[in-house]
C-alpha cells in the first residue's frame, strides 16, 4: 500500500476506535491515557492479532485482507458507509455486496411515509418484501397489516392474489415490469440466494411468472413511471410513481405514488376517511 493510503487508513481506524465507549462493550475503564477503546480491545473484538491491528493503525504491515477489514468493521461497530470507506482505504475498492434482510424501519422513516397523506408510499427490500407503508397505501394498494409477514411480498401479491391482479389496468404489462425490476434489484443487492426459494415457489404456482423469469433478458430499471389502478370503491386511479434510495440503507427502497390530478387525490382522501370512521 502507498504510504499516504496506509496513513489515512491508520487515522480512520484510530478516530473510530477513540469514539467507542469501553463500558458499553464490557471493558473496565481503569486508567486510560486516551478516550475510547484500547488497540488490544479492538483486536479482541475483531478476533485478530493485537500486533497486526497496531501495525495497521501505525501504517505498517501492508494491505489487509477483506476478511480482516470485515472483522475490524464489526469490532468498531462501523456503519455500512463507514465500512465501505474502510475498504476503499484498505483495498482501494468497495466491499463485495452483502445482502442484509430487513423486517422493519426506523420511526423517523415511518414518519416520512405518514407525512404523505394522499400519496400511497411503501418501503420495500431488495427481495420486494414490504416492510413499511402509510395509511394511503393501506387504503388504495393493500392493507399489509392484515397479511402474515411472509405474504407482504409484491411478487407473491402480483402473481398469487386475485384482488391485486384485478386491480391492475394492464396486468400483463405490470407483471413483466415487476419481474424485470425485481431481478435487477436482487442482482444489485447480491440477494441471489435469498430470492431462490421465492422464485422456486412462484415458478411452481404461477406458469406466468415462470415464463417471465425464464426470459433472462428481462431486466428493467424502475426509477419512475405511471400506474393505473382499478379500485372497487373509487374506480380508476392514475398515479405517478418514483422510487428513492434510502440513505445509508442500500437494502431498502421507498416507492411513492402521487395522484396525477386533484380529483384523484380527493378520491384517495375520501377512501382513507371511510376506512378511519
Q: In this predicted model, what pLDDT tens digit does every residue of 161-185 receive, in sequence order? A: 999 999 999 999 999 999 999 988 8
Is the pTM of the predicted complex or chain greater than 0.85? no
Share of the chain above pLDDT 70, in %: 92
User: What span, in angstroms and rounded, lies between the C-alpha atoms of 217 and 202?
Assistant: 19
pLDDT at 3: 62
248 falls in which pLDDT band (50, 70, 90)? Answer: low
- The highest-level CATH class for domain 107-276 is alpha beta
Bridge partners, residue 230, by sequence: 236
User: What span, in angstroms and rounded, lies between the C-alpha atoms of 255 and 144?
Assistant: 15
**Ranges in the chain annotated CATH 1.10.260.40:** 3-91
User: What span, in angstroms and rounded, lies between the C-alpha atoms of 249 and 106?
Assistant: 11
3-91 placed in CATH 1.10.260.40: yes
- Give the pLDDT mean for 108-129: 94
| For residue 134, pLDDT beyond 90 | yes
3-state DSSP call for residue 84?
A: helix
Bridge partners, residue 123, by sequence: 132, 254
Average pLDDT value over all residues in the chain: 88
Q: In this predicted model, what pLDDT tens digit does every residue of 40-68 receive, in sequence order? A: 999 999 999 999 999 998 987 678 889 99
**Ranges in the chain annotated CATH 3.30.450.180:** 107-276
pLDDT at 64: 87
Amino acid at each position: 500500500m502507498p504510504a499516504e493510503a496506509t496513513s489515512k487508513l491508520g487515522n480512520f481506524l484510530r478516530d473510530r476506535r477513540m469514539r467507542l465507549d469501553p463500558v458499553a462493550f464490557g471493558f473496565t475503564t481503569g486508567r486510560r491515557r486516551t478516550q475510547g477503546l484500547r488497540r488490544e480491545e479492538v483486536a479482541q473484538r475483531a478476533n485478530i492479532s493485537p500486533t497486526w491491528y497496531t501495525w495497521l493503525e501505525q501504517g505498517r504491515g501492508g494491505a489487509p485482507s477483506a476478511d480482516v477489514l470485515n472483522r475490524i468493521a464489526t469490532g468498531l461497530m462501523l456503519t455500512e458507509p463507514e465500512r465501505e470507506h474502510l475498504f476503499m482505504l484498505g483495498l482501494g475498492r468497495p466491499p463485495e455486496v452483502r445482502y442484509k434482510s430487513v423486517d422493519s424501519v426506523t420511526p423517523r422513516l415511518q414518519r416520512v411515509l405518514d407525512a404523505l397523506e394522499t400519496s400511497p408510499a411503501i418501503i420495500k427490500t431488495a427481495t420486494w418484501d414490504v416492510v413499511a407503508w402509510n395509511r394511503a397505501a393501506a387504503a388504495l394498494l393493500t392493507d399489509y397489516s392484515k397479511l402474515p409477514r411472509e405474504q407482504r411480498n409484491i411478487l407473491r401479491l402480483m402473481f398469487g392474489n386475485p384482488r391485486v391482479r384485478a386491480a391492475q389496468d394492464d396486468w400483463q404489462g405490470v407483471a413483466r415490469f415487476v419481474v424485470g425490476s425485481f431481478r435487477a434489484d436482487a442482482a444489485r443487492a447480491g440477494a441471489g440466494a435469498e430470492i431462490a426459494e421465492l422464485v422456486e415457489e412462484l415458478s411452481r404456482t404461477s406458469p406466468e411468472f415462470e415464463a417471465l423469469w425464464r426470459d433472462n433478458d428481462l431486466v428493467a430499471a424502475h426509477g419512475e413511471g405511471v400506474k393505473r389502478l382499478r379500485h372497487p370503491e373509487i374506480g380508476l386511479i392514475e398515479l405517478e410513481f418514483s422510487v428513492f434510495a434510502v440513505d445509508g440503507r442500500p437494502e431498502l427502497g421507498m416507492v411513492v405514488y402521487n395522484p396525477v390530478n386533484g380529483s384523484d387525490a380527493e378520491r384517495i382522501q375520501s377512501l382513507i376517511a371511510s376506512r378511519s370512521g
